[in-house]
Chains A and B, each alone.
Chain A
């Protein structure tokens, strides 16, 4: 794109030659008199830095720089040199935006590094976005969750400014922040008609009642991400009420701090069934970061999960349960299991999870024959098969060289296991 701009430059005389231009050149061919919409189009291809530079050329270009259309979407980057390699949005620019463009902002995100200062700066900006109609808000920590280090009062009051003033928030991403129940109430009070997406994984100050309030009032909610402790039968029922739209995406993080210290409640089968009846196409994504012994409450009954990720080790028994009770399973990722082959469990999953299209295995063991049988069962529906080479144990039927051609045959495409360098 920048090249395109350069070639356009050749058509017009350079600015420096303006004084020397021949008399037959009319003022209309002056750069500064280019129609607004032309300059706007060109600006849209420039980076922010280049655009800012261009804006100092003349008043016309400066006006275009401040066209509301160019300020609908902005990502504030707040990084401290001591903690991050990344650059930060210039403070002067931030001031300019707050002064001139707060009311134009509609799609806003804040990216902060691991330093508390950065998160606090984000909150300061939020507090000043008074006259705006923000539709999308994202608070993103690129490293450690620094929003959690900001004082809760400061954070909540800043967030509430946006919740109250925007009145048409549709997407909110506030994972790993100290948001609390009262702020959610404010959110709901002002934006219940427009809210479609809410991502708030790992927000420890929110209670099940807090999130239930959101589900009860925001009937347009299509996407929700939260931690397991916030999930309740009431919540699932609220999301399945007649007034509620179809839920499209539900993400649940199941995390334990210390082994044996968290007790996980169970969700009734009937609540899950209600959800599926209401939203038959919903994706239910579960991320597990538990110790092996903490899995007891899960998958005892049919669970409509579609995407399952085990961040730590998961037992053979649990994988067996999944084969039995997760008919809607589309994707399964297992970080680690142990040193007993998982042939039986894997084959059962292949057999009973008819929608399974993606699987990833690391640090487990599966015999080559067992694996081939699994692949035969799934056939070409496996679009993503990501297996670490060490997982596959050669046996009498297949060795490492043969396995890849056998599997490729059944998949209908070339396949190799994943590798790590060995040196």
Chain B
């Protein structure tokens, strides 16, 4: 029985630790590795030039690695549902393999392909290697619902067995057994498209700061681990000098595209730690980055509405403003706040920004200043940020905007102060906003406060050469704190909890509202939901539909008109801690 395998690359753009690819090779007579891409949709998709370039470089890298093994990468143009029937017939395919994609859209797409394959008599083998653990297992261990606090997630993970060990890269011997003849016209039919073919203009395009591909990833991994200082000072892992600039050892884009296996990183970190520290168990904080990624993947895997507010059971319904002009200024780095603008400029130019920078701009767009929906910010990041997975990006935006997972909205980042404290030298600003380079440190974060003479001397007059600040931060943050409090107070009433925020005692807020959600909020089927932010079995829980209608009475009792405030706290959101 002849076995003709096709391995379908989507993420997991690598030859090391690729169990699905190993399955393709296992006992096969011929193997072809395909990547499916539709240039027609390239322009329409919300993907910017840096992300395309990274992907194309990763594909080039795969292709050259496969060349060394006497094979090639087959880049097939089209949509999977159209492409596969054709390939199945043309290549007499009997086996299809690919890496498991835990994201809801991926699961749906793959379900359709598996069904299609069955119709063609093609065996499908799917293997998990994009996440450290089996996400369904984590969900199962948490009473069949994804953990919604990071601490809870860590607790569950600490009870699991170690992640499956990574597999070695595929070898020449393995490939030799399933040798595929490469046609002469391979490059005409199956070549990797260029940026131009995808509709991008490349004249004047600056060099990439982050180069895609497995080789790059493994090289960086080596350097990352070489930073022994980092590992030995793990006890003082707090970042003292924050590196806002792209790091030559940064790995997040490579994890996202699968150029680097998360398990390889995990085990390398673990082994290095155990060697250096001579201790048995590394702390969970060693794997910080990996676990956050895993956390968001787990939270998202069963929630197709994870990336929006409407219809998303874990997302607080917040009355964000619609303001396309303000959104554009933020996205294009024209807010008039150098700290914000420098970050957005770095993002647009290079495709990566430090996590503190992400906090700053996300807060500024949403609950801090502009009061624009996190969904808009998420889409901008999706376009420009190299390591923006669907799950991680959406989850992080919800987190940073206090829409889910996290409720302490008083943690607000000042677009002037936070920048100044992070980089007192102001060099980061000067690097990304050269027009401000002659401003002294005193004014570089708030150029509008500089005296006119200084502005002229620095050849940059605010309002002329550089925009005026688009909002008054003190005013906006004051208003927004009030808005957030309004939102959260309503939620606590729905749950009957004594919300720890100063309670205005107008009747309709002191008791559950008579008319329920359909009169208010964003959509017909999405009432205000309590943010599900449980710590074990404490108060807040993911609401189910039975808690939709608050038990309401029509007329408020006359003698309950005025209710004395029951404050314990004016601003802090109550108890995430476990009950004793």
Q: Cα distance A422–B291 when bound, in Å?
A: 10
Chain B residues with Cβ under 8 A from A49's Cβ? 518-519
**Secondary structure type dominating chain B contacts:** loop
- Could you say which of B134-142, B263-271, B456-464, B554-562 contacts chain A? B554-562
Which residues between 107 and 143 of chain A lie within 8 Å of chain B, taking CB atoms? 107, 109, 111, 113-114, 135-138, 140-143
Q: Are B486 and A142 in contact, with the CB atoms below 8 A?
A: yes
Whether A352 is near chain B, meaning CB under 8 Å from some CB there, is no
For residue A2, CB closer than 8 A to chain B, the reply is: yes
Residue of A45, A73, A114, A173 most packed against chain B (CB within 10 A): A73
> What are the residues of chain B within 8 A of A138 when measuring CB–CB?
506, 508-509
Say how far B371's CB is from chain A's closest CB, in angstroms: 5
In the complex, what's the smallest C-beta–C-beta distance from A105 to chain B, in angstroms?
Answer: 12
Q: Are B575 and A383 in contact (CB under 8 A)?
A: yes
A378-390 CB mask vs B (1 if < 8 Å, else 0) is 0000011010101
- Contact between chains at A333 and B371 (CB < 8 Å): no
**Which residues 69-88 of A have a CB within 8 angstroms of B?**
69-70, 72-75, 77, 82-87
The answer, yes or no, to whether B166 is at the interface (CB within 8 Å) is no
Q: Is the CB of A73 within 8 A of B513?
A: yes
Given known A-B contacts A384-B568, A384-B569, A423-B387, A84 and B506 have beta carbons under 8 A apart: no
Which residues of the other chain, B, contact A199 by a CB distance below 8 angstroms? 504
User: Are the C-beta atoms of A197 and B505 separated by less than 8 Å?
Assistant: yes
Which A residues are CB-close (under 8 A) to B414?
Answer: 312-313, 335-336
Q: Is the CB of A89 within 8 A of B565?
A: no
Which residues of chain B are near A298, meaning CB under 8 Å?
A: none
Docked pose: A257 CA to B309 CA in angstroms = 33
CA A45 to CA B449, docked complex, whole Å: 56
Distance, CA A85 to CA B554, complexed state (A): 28
User: Beyond A311-B412, A335-B411, is A40–B554 a contact (Cβ under 8 Å)?
Assistant: yes
Q: Establish whether residues B238 and A390, one from each chain, have CB atoms under 8 Å apart when the complex forms.
A: yes
8 Å CB contact of A358 from B151, B288, B500, B556: B500
A residues contacting the other copy or chain, number (CB 8 A): 104
By a CB distance below 8 angstroms, the chain B residues around A176 are: 479
A209 at the interface (CB under 8 A from B): no
B519 touches A77 (CB 8 A): yes
Q: Give me 10 other A-B pairs in contact (C-beta within 8 A), A73-B556, A107-B556 excluded.
A: A1-B551, A2-B549, A75-B513, A85-B322, A107-B508, A143-B320, A173-B504, A289-B474, A394-B235, A422-B288
- Chain B residues near A (Cβ < 8 Å): 150-151, 235-238, 252, 283, 285, 288-289, 292-293, 295-296, 309-310, 319-323, 355, 359, 371, 373, 387, 392, 395-396, 399-400, 406, 408, 410-414, 417-418, 421, 449, 472, 474-475, 477-479, 481-483, 486, 500, 502, 504-509, 513-522, 535, 549, 551-556, 561-562, 564-565, 567-572, 574-575, 577-580
Give the top 7 A-B pairs by smallest Cβ distance, nearest first.
A47-B518, A143-B321, A142-B319, A362-B411, A307-B570, A1-B549, A289-B474
Interfacial residues, chain A to chain B (CB-CB below 8 A): 1-2, 40, 43-45, 47-50, 69-70, 72-75, 77, 82-87, 89, 106-107, 109, 111, 113-114, 135-138, 140-145, 170-171, 173, 175-176, 196-197, 199, 202, 222-223, 225, 248-249, 251, 253, 255-259, 283, 285, 287, 289-290, 307, 309, 311-313, 330-331, 333, 335-336, 338-339, 357-358, 360, 362-363, 383-384, 386, 388, 390, 393-394, 399-401, 412-416, 418-423
